[in-house]
Structure 1
Amino acid sequence: MAGLSPGYRFTDLAVQLGDLTFGVVDDAGVHWHCATLDGWDSPDVRAEMQQREGDHGAWAPPVYLNERVIALAGKAFAPSAAALDGAIEQLSTAASLTDTTLLVGETVPKMATVRRSGKVLAQRLTGTAMEWSVQVTAADPRRYAPDFEQDNTGLPNSTGGRPTPYTVPYTLSATTVSGQVDAYNAGNIDTRPTLTISGPVSQPSVFGQMPDGSVRMLACSFDLGPDDVLVIDTDAHSATLNGNVSRRRFVSAPQGWPTIPAKGSVSYQFRAATYSSTALLNVRWRSAWM
C-alpha cells in the first residue's frame, strides 16, 4: 500500500471516531484499517420476564434497549516511526472522555454520541505498524441520521389562539393550515425532537397529532417576552428558558411527550392564548434506528 496519497479511501465502509477516519490514508500518510465494529449492529436489551404461575410460559414485559457498547479494532501502517507515534496519540485523542461522534458510512449513514469506556490499546507490530482497539459507549442507544431536519412556523393567521376551557379528548382539524410543522422519522425506532418557542407569546402550546390520529399536547402556563426563548427537550423531558432557567414545572404533557414514531410523521401545531405575529415554533429532529 506504499505510495497511496492522503485522502485515499480503500474501503466502502468508512468509520469516523471524532476527527479520526478509518478506511482512509490520513494527512500523515498513515493507513488506518478498521476490521471490527462490534456492537454497532445492536445493543443488549433488558426485560424481566414474570413466569406464569401454574401455566406455561411467562408474561411478556416491556423490552428496552441498554446503552450501546461498541468495540472498534484494526491495524494501522505508518510511513515512519514518528508517524506511528503520532497515530497512537491521535487514536487516544479520538476516543474522547467526553461526548464525541461515531459516524459509520453505511448506505444510509448513521451516527451515535459516544464516550470512551475502556482502555485504548495500541500494540506495536513493527516500528511502523500496530494493532489497535478502543471501546466506546453510547448512553443513548439509538443510531441517528448525521444531519438534523428542522422547520419553523408562526401562529396560524386564521385564529387568535386555542379555545378554553379544554375538553377531553383533545381534537384537531385534519385540514392542513399554517401554524403547523410536519416531522417524519425514516428510522425504525421513535425519535425525540427538540421544540423551541420564541416570544413574545402568551401561554404557548404545541399539539402533536400522531399517525393514529391521537393528540399529545405540551402546554405552557406562562408568557414569553419579546427576547425569551423556551427550549423543550422531549428526550430529557426538560423545558429551559433563555438557556439556563428551568421551566419544567410550568409545562404539562398530560397525554405524554410527542415523540415521532418509527416510519411515522407527526404534525406539530402551534397555538397560544392570544395571537402574536412574531411568535415562532422551531421543530428539530433526526431519524433514528435501533
Structure 2
Amino acid sequence: MYVPGTDLDGLRADLGSVPLGGVDEAGVAWILQSMEGWDSSDSRSEVQQREADHGAWFTPVYLSERPVTLGGLILAPDPAALEAAMERARAAAALTDTLLVVHESVPKQSVVRRSGRPVLQYVTDTTASYSLMVTAADPRRYSVTEQAGSTGLPMTSGGLAPPITPPVTVAATTVAGQVVAANQGTVGTRPVLRIDGPVTDPTVFAQYPDGTVKRLAYSESIADGEYLTIDVDAKSVILNGTASRRRYLSAQWPEIPADATVTFLFAATGYNSTALLTVTWRSAWL
C-alpha cells in the first residue's frame, strides 16, 4: 500500500493535478520512468554559403517548440481505482493549456498541450503503463517562483526655493523609481510590466549591465483606478485587462539576459505619489 501525498523514488513531475512520481489522494502510485524532451528543445536556423570565399554565414538561431513524452507505470489498489486513474491521465494531457512542473533541484515549469495520442495499456487489473506526449509552444523552462518588484515615480526632496543669497549650498536628494530584476537562468526571460495610474505619459527605461538602455514610452494618460499591462513576450499593451492600447506605445522590447540583472526605471511627465510600476518575471532555462 502507498501513502497518499508521498513522493516515490526517482523522477518527480506534476502534469496538471496528476503527481507523476508520487502517490495521489486515492492511493494510486504514478511511477515516472522517462521524460524525453525535457532536457532540451531543437533549434532552427539557416546557413548561407559565402560567395567566392570559404565558409558560410549564420542566420539567427532560435529554439523550436519543446515536445515532451512522459512515460511510466500506474499502480492502483484495485481495478476501479486503476480505471479512474487512466481516465485522469487522459484528461491531464489536455487540449488546452496545462502546467507541467518538474521537481528538479530548482523546480521548473512549462505550459503544455496534448500533441499526441495518450497510450495507456493494461499490465494487470491493477497496473497499467502510460505514455503521454505534450508540447510547450514556448521552449523555455521557467522557475516556478515568480519574482516581482514595484516602485513609484522618482521624487526629489530638500534643496532651497528662491530667492537665495549666495554662498549657500544645500543638496537635494532624489529617490529613484527603479526595480532591479535578476534572471538566474541560462536564457533570456521577458517581463510583464504593470503601470497603475494616475500618471501622464509614463515611460519605462530598461538599463542593462553594459550601460545600454531600452525605452517603452506610453503617449496617453492612465487615470486613477486604471492600469496598463505591457506583456513583453506577447508584445501586447492592454488597458484595464480588456482594451488594446498597442498603438500608443513606442517600444524597444526589453529582455532580461541569462545570469544578469536589468534595472527598470519609472518616469512620467509629472509626479504623482500613487502612480506605480510593477515588474514581474521568472528566471528561465534552455
Q: What is the TM-score with the length of structure 1 in the denominator? A: 0.91
Q: Do the aligned residues in 1 keep the contact of 2:220 with 2:248 (CA within 8 Å)?
A: yes
- Segments of 5+ residues of structure 2 without an aligned counterpart are 158-172
Aligned equivalents of 2:225, 2:22: Cα separation in 1 = 47
User: Aligned letter for 2:45?
Assistant: A
Report how far residue 56 of structure 1 moved. Answer: 3.1
Please give the secondary structure, in 1, of the residue aligned with 2:86.
helix
Larger strand proportion of the pair: 2
Aligned equivalents of 2:81, 2:45: Cα separation in 1 = 47
Aligned equivalents of 1:62, 1:11: Cα separation in 2 = 41
Q: How does 1:200-215 map to 2 (within 5 A)?
A: 200-215=198-213
- Deviation string, structure 1 residues 14-40 (Cα, Å, up to 9, x no partner): 111000011112221211111111110
Q: Aligned residue for 2:42?
A: 44
Residue 260 of structure 1 pairs with residue 256 of structure 2: yes
Q: How does 1:1-290 map to 2 (within 5 A)?
A: 3-158=1-156, 177-253=175-251, 256-290=252-286
Identity of aligned residues (%): 52
Structure with higher Rg: it is 2
- Deviation string, structure 1 residues 47-93 (Cα, Å, up to 9, x no partner): 01111233332212210000111111111111111011001111012
User: Aligned letter for 1:47?
Assistant: S
User: Aligned letter for 1:55?
Assistant: D
Q: Aligned residue for 1:168?
A: none
Please give the secondary structure, in 1, of the residue aligned with 2:204.
strand
Aligned equivalents of 1:177, 1:75: Cα separation in 2 = 58
Please give the secondary structure, in 1, of the residue aligned with 2:87.
helix
Please give the secondary structure, in 2, of the residue aligned with 1:130.
strand
Q: Do the aligned residues in 1 keep the contact of 2:155 with 2:174 (CA within 8 Å)?
A: no
Count of matched residue pairs: 271
Q: Aligned residue for 1:170?
A: none
Please give the secondary structure, in 2, of the residue aligned with 1:59.
strand
Report how far residue 12 of structure 1 moved. Answer: 4.5
Please give the secondary structure, in 2, of the residue aligned with 1:158.
strand
- Segments of 5+ residues of structure 1 without an aligned counterpart are 160-174
Deviant stretches of 4+, over 3 Å:
none
Q: Do the aligned residues in 1 keep the contact of 2:11 with 2:32 (CA within 8 Å)?
A: no
Q: Aligned residue for 1:163?
A: none
Q: Aligned residue for 2:161?
A: none
Q: What is the TM-score with the length of structure 2 in the denominator? A: 0.92
RMSD: 1.4
Aligned equivalents of 1:10, 1:258: Cα separation in 2 = 41
